[in-house]
Amino acid sequence: MFHKAVRPVLVVIAHGSRDPRHAATVHALVRRVRSLRPGLRVETGFLDFSLPSVQGVLESLAAEGVRDVVALPLLLTRAFHAKADIPAVLREAPSRLRIRQADVLGPSPLLLSALERRLYEAGLTPADKSSTGVVLASAGSSDPEAIAVIADIAREWWHTGWCAVRPAFASASLPRTEDAVRELRALGCSTVAVAPYVLAPGFLPDRIARGAAGADVLADVLGPAPEVARLLLDRYDKARTPLPAALGA
């Protein structure tokens, strides 16, 4: 008799924030993921500030008898949280769980599509690209690898037809959003837009918004954009493909 393989539970690991908009946006994204794949169980855990905690979610799953989990960091770059915090939390998980850590979301063409979606929702059109300079505004990091990735994304995005694309950071790195806005003005771009490369509202996204005061267009955070939901499932599928011990389980 053949037994249908049980799909691993997807546990989305979000940063957490004192700002209630953060958790609300994460939950909206997870609802969209569930709607795209109704048979998949998706749970959400937070590293800090919000509940349920990642540890609490993993302990509950183990108590239910769940064996296989894909832990997906809701992060755009491989910075400190992806390299240190999340692996540390997963090491403390109940031993009965077989956990695979999925890759972070970025970089991905789907994220560029989501960024453009947000800019068009804010009032731009594809016809505006060649005359519009864009600030790719991320939260920032002290991790050189993460900073280099943001710069690479900005270069790649510029090659799709924008007047110019400049990276900016809300913390830890320079330039700030307002500095990048001034630079694009000086370059002669007739329209300047700020595209927050962040997933949910909070302290640093608010700083990005303040820095965008001199821009013509400020896009919304990526949030539950359809492309982001599809990307979560793509990362899940890649992580779950060769589950360890699956043949002998």
Longest dimension (CA), the chain: 70
SS3 11: strand
pLDDT digits (tens, 9 = 90+) for 97-146: 999 999 999 999 999 999 999 999 999 999 999 999 999 999 988 888 88
* Contact residues for 28 (Cβ-Cβ < 8 A; gap 6+): 223, 224
Sheet holding 217-218, edge to edge: 164-169, 132-138, 191-197, 217-218
- Compute how many other C-beta atoms are within 10 angstroms of the C-beta atom of residue 209: 19
Q: Is the dihedral of CA 212, 113, 138, 198 positive or negative?
A: positive
Taking the C-alpha atoms of residue 78 and residue 73, their distance in angstroms, rounded to an integer, is: 9
E-strand spans in 146-232?
164-169, 191-197, 217-218
Of residues 64 and 80, more confidence is placed in 64
Query: pLDDT > 90: what percent of the chain?
Result: 87
Q: pLDDT grade, residue 245 (50/70/90)?
A: very low
- Nearest partner of 148 among 222, 82, 78, judged by Cα: 78
Closest CA to 49 of 82, 21, 12, 83: 21
pTM greater than 0.85: yes
Burial of 174 (0-12, 13-18, 19+ CB in 10 A): exposed
Q: Which of 128, 130, 174, 172 is nearest to 151 (CA)?
A: 174
- pLDDT for 31-66, tens place per residue? 999 999 999 999 999 999 999 999 999 999 999 999
Least confident of 3-7, 13-17, 155-159: 3-7
Q: Is the peptide bond before 167 cis (omega within 30 degrees of 0)?
A: no
- pLDDT given for residue 242 in this prediction: 63
